[in-house]
Amino acid sequence: MAAYLCPPAVIHGEHAVETSQIVAEVRGRHPEAAWAPRIDGIAASTGIETRGWMLPLETAVAPGKGLPAGDLEAAREALVRDGFAGEDVDRAIAALEAVPAPQTVQERTAPAWEAVQSYGERAARGALQIAGLDASDVDCVITSNSTTPALPGLDVALANRLPLRDDVLMLPATQWACIAGTRSLALAADLVAADPDRVVLVVISEALSTTYQPGDDTLESLIVRLLFADTAVATVVTGRPRPESMLRLDASWNHTLPGTQDLHRLETRADGTHFVMDRRGPRAVQQTVTAMWEWLRVRYQEDPGSWHPDVLLAHPGGTKVLEYMEQTMPEGWPAGLLDYSRASYTTGNRGGAAVFDIMRRAYDAGQKPGSRAVLYAAAPGLTATALEGEWL
């Protein structure tokens, strides 16, 4: 399967949003919520003090523009038909205009989609520069973005913005979510295995802050507000080693857990995208971790006593599953394998971009040639993808 990965470009959301700001906003909006007395403890338990968003917090919590002009005109005509005087009609319409309304899907999504394209372009250009390549060298582009659906999508946007050649194979994957990092690399590895001269550009741009819904008063919605960060990442994958290559990918593994499709999901409502979580989710994710341990055990069954990864780059969706991974690692594996994963989480859950951010942290810290790496991510579905490889 050998595929060669260049260091990724990581573009963090430029608007710093403090946890204290989120707590103050939510407390002011939902003072009577059942969890309100515990909000400080809940926020502290995430371990996140700040996260970067592509748009400021004020954009997420701003009211919508109210009733559309057509609806206001229809209301005016109805009042006139019912015999209301002109001044009374004007006062009624003015009152309707002043009623706060939640943002519509369009109001929420349009600015975020523009940011996703802009950040994605910056990440793509950064990855190409790191790899010492031009846009004209790209043969295939794999893209993923989950919370800003659009058609044409990010792949076509990049084809025009970079620009890419008109014969480039474009593979958009808008529903990979948290496994976008690992699964895109697994697909890229298959593509370069079929043609070692192929150059694959992977771009993931996630504006997860669009799931921040001010009107929701559930505990799960509070946690969603606190967790997510916005990030765009990109990397170049080739079938032959380049001077810039940092990691060789040797094997991939996929796993889907039946009957878990409702545990984590996106729902599109009148006021935008909502991320819905079930409290059973972490336990289900743990089952994919156990399955991954078994894959690695079988892969290295001829050397079970001495083999172990030197670094584990994991995005399992939350700190509870990271703790579970540490508790269930095979006996004899060294401590600290998840240090870069934990460091990434301190500034938010980046969804599909997370593994690339974790990988960049490991690369910047320096890894010895020959060190073994395992990359893992789980996503709504529940589905997981892992890769195993060697630092160059």
**Segments forming the whole domain that contains residue 228:** 3-16+52-62+102-238
Written as one letter, the residue type at 74 is: A
Tell me the C-alpha to C-alpha distance, in Å, between residue 243 and each of 6, 93, 371, 392: 9, 67, 18, 10
253 close to 376: Cβ distance less than 8 angstroms: no
pLDDT in tens, 178-197: 999 999 999 999 999 999 99
pLDDT, position 287: 87
pLDDT in tens, 110-161: 899 999 999 999 999 999 999 999 999 999 999 999 988 888 999 999 999 9
Six token digits for residue 296: 């690695």
For residues 295-318, average pLDDT: 86
Q: Indicate the number of domains in the chain.
A: 2
CATH of the domain at 219: 3.40.47.10
One domain, residues 223 and 277: no
pLDDT in tens, 77-122: 887 888 888 887 778 777 666 666 777 778 888 899 999 999 999 9
One domain, residues 348 and 267: yes
One domain, residues 315 and 349: yes
pLDDT in tens, 360-385: 999 999 999 999 999 999 988 889 99
Only one residue has tokens 């050649």, namely 165
Cα 91 from chain centroid?
Answer: 46
**Which of 238, 261, 279 corresponds to the end of one domain?**
238
**Which of 207, 238, 269 corresponds to the end of one domain?**
238
Task: Find the angle CA(286)-CA(288)-CA(289) to the nearest 5 degrees.
Answer: 65
Evaluate if pTM is beyond 0.75.
yes
